[in-house]
Chain A
């Protein structure tokens, strides 16, 4: 049979010579390699104490943002859920009652909003689809947990707290905002070019 690559070596089962039978040269050459590594830079880091620099647009755990008045931006429009390739997002919407204007930005809001972190592939499509700038992926990592139910994150985990808002300035740069401003017309540009 013809080999698929030319990297395979023919194994010859020949008698070892006297030098080879001593094994010492082989052991020394092996030890040289081992000792060389003592003086090399370590490729690993001591993880929990030491953390590698993250990209500013690393896609980690999601956050549901509040607006400048502290009201939830999400209106449960469902575009993130329909954009989600892993079908990880589900939500139930509800109507805002009079007097809840400081809690929810618009007349409809997400009564429950769940992301199944076991399903999520952190592609960021939900962030792209969101018309209200409500959902973002952040550079926070998702913790490992013991049960499956714990990994279905609800609004209690996802919505940012009023006291400690999540800083998005690394991913919401002025250029990104400018791009988003014109994003609605993006499909038209393609359409016109085709003609």
Chain B
């Protein structure tokens, strides 16, 4: 069991754990208070094998390699792909030059990304938006022509807006690993590479809708929800139904009495807890199809939490935590 120290927090983790997972474990500890030291991740997804290593936003500085070889690693490493060793010391938010390097990574991700958040359906729950905001990049300095693509309808339910894609490969892994027949992938190379189906083939697999949930940006969006409402005007509820294909545990996004959208439940790290099938996601759009469990927990920093009322005791805990974090920053 190697012992790793990340930003001064020490934790013992099983062999083969990556730095990112160890950092998340530290933050998940119930007595953990303070600023989150978990590196942000745009392409890594716990549930998808071989994901990670593309976006480089999770880079960390390894200031001590291990107990046996205490030399620091020469360059920042991708924490989602680097496994911990015993005695390793890692710096994430405590290293100013690392934050500067990550800022550069974010700027590169934003080079071709259109700043059309006022139109994009993902706005409000977009990982890239959060990342840009956290690193103070509301704009790019890039003046040249950006790569643009036409919008494609992948089947009746999914819209592909390739211009917004950051090539994280998460949807490709979903298509590869949880559906039995893969019909989409990445075509071409480098700047012109694009996510596509072969000649706009319709994705018909029962679980293909999950590519929408794994997409960290607004490249893959739900056509049944297209421009229906901004996410922060919808009320998220936990709900379930007896489904023969999937667990049937979903999050409903309601406006009034209308179910505008059905998504998977996402955990603290923005990762899906259980995949859901297309029938649950796209076809059951009435309240009577579902057993509502209650309001869904939304983190207070999210814009979706505006006017969102849930368990008050949880809210109090959140406020306490936020205040402690603010005290820690000062």
Interface assignment of B230: CB less than 8 Å from any CB of chain A: yes
Q: How far is the CB of B160 from chain A (nearest CB, A)?
A: 15
B226 touches A95 (CB 8 A): yes
CA distance A117 to B119 in the complex (A): 26
| A82 and B139 contacting across the interface, CB-CB below 8 Å | no
Q: Is the pair A184, B138 in contact by a Cβ cutoff of 8 Å?
A: yes
B126 at the interface (CB under 8 A from A): no
Taken residue by residue from 226 to 259, chain B's Cβ proximity to chain A (1 for < 8 Å, 0 otherwise) reads as 1111101100000000000000000000000000
Interface membership of B98, Cβ < 8 A = no
B230/A188 in contact, CB under 8 A: no
* B37 in contact (CB, < 8 A): no
Residue in contact with B118 in the complex, picked from A79, A184, A185, CB distance below 8 Å: A79
Is the pair A187, B136 in contact by a Cβ cutoff of 8 Å?
A: yes
Q: Would B306 and A131 count as touching, CB distance under 8 A?
A: no
Complexed CA–CA distance, A188 and B133 (Å): 9
Q: Is the CB of A93 within 8 A of B229?
A: yes
Interface size class of B (residues with CB under 8 A): 10 to 19
Chain B residues with Cβ under 8 A from A162's Cβ? none
Q: How far is the CB of B122 from chain A (nearest CB, A)?
A: 12
Closest to A194 in B: B329
Looking at the assembled complex, report how far the CB atom of A93 sits from the nearest CB atom of chain B, in whole angstroms: 5
Assess the A78–B232 pair: CB atoms within 8 A: yes
Q: Does B183 have its Cβ within 8 Å of any Cβ on chain A? A: no
> At the interface, is chain B mostly helix, strand, loop or mixed?
loop
The distance from the CB of A189 to the nearest CB of chain B, in whole angstroms, is 9
B80 within 8 Å of A (CB atoms): no
Q: A150: CB under 8 A from chain B?
A: no
The answer to whether A75 touches B303, judged by C-beta atoms less than 8 angstroms apart, is no
With an 8 A cutoff between CB atoms, is A106 at the interface? Answer: yes
A107 at the A/B interface (Cβ < 8 Å)?
yes
A87 to B251: give the CA distance in the assembly, Å.
25
Residue from the set A82, A95, A185, A188 with the largest chain B CB neighbour count within 10 Å: A82
Contact A108 B136 (CB under 8 A): no
Chain A 82-94 against B: per-residue CB contact (8 Å), 1 yes, 0 no? 1000010000011
B227 touches A95 (CB 8 A): yes
A135 at the interface (CB under 8 A from B): no
Contacting residues, chain B, for A79 (C-beta < 8 A):
118
Answer yes or no: B123 CB below 8 A from chain A CBs: yes
- Assess whether B230 is in contact with A78, with CB atoms less than 8 Å apart: yes
> Which of B136, B226, B233 sits near A81, CB closer than 8 Å?
B233
CA distance A81 to B117 in the complex (A): 16
Is A106's CB under 8 angstroms from B232's CB? no
Q: Please tell me if A132 contacts chain B, counting CB pairs below 8 Å.
A: yes
A87 CA / B119 CA spacing, docked (Å): 21
B218 to chain A, nearest CB (A): 12
Q: Tell me, rounded to whole Å, the shortest Cβ–Cβ distance linking B223 to chain A.
A: 10
Asked if A82 and B303 make an inter-chain contact with CB atoms under 8 angstroms apart, the answer reads yes
User: Is B117 touching A77 in the complex (CB atoms < 8 A)?
Assistant: yes
- Chain A's closest residue to B139 (CB) is A184
CB of A38 closer than 8 Å to a CB of B:
no
CB distance from B93 to the nearest CB of A (A): 12
Closest to A186 in B: B138
Contact of B136 among A75, A76, A131, A191 (CB under 8 A): A191
Kindly state the separation between the CA atoms of A95 and B307 in the bound complex, as whole angstroms. 26
Residues of A within 8 A of B136 (CB): 185, 187-188, 191-192
Query: Which of chain B's residues has its CB closest to A90's CB?
Result: B233
Distance A191 CA – B116 CA, assembled complex (angstroms): 24
- 11 A-B pairs within 8 Å (CB atoms) are namely A77-B119, A77-B123, A78-B229, A81-B233, A93-B228, A93-B229, A95-B227, A107-B119, A184-B139, A185-B136, A185-B138
Q: B residues within 8 Å of A by Cβ?
A: 116-119, 123, 136, 138-139, 226-230, 232-233, 303, 306-307, 329
Give the interface of A toward B (CB within 8 A).
75-79, 81-82, 87, 93-95, 106-108, 131-132, 184-185, 187-188, 191-192, 194
Q: Which 10 A-B pairs have the closest CB atoms?
A: A77-B118, A78-B230, A184-B138, A188-B136, A93-B227, A108-B119, A75-B118, A108-B227, A95-B227, A131-B118
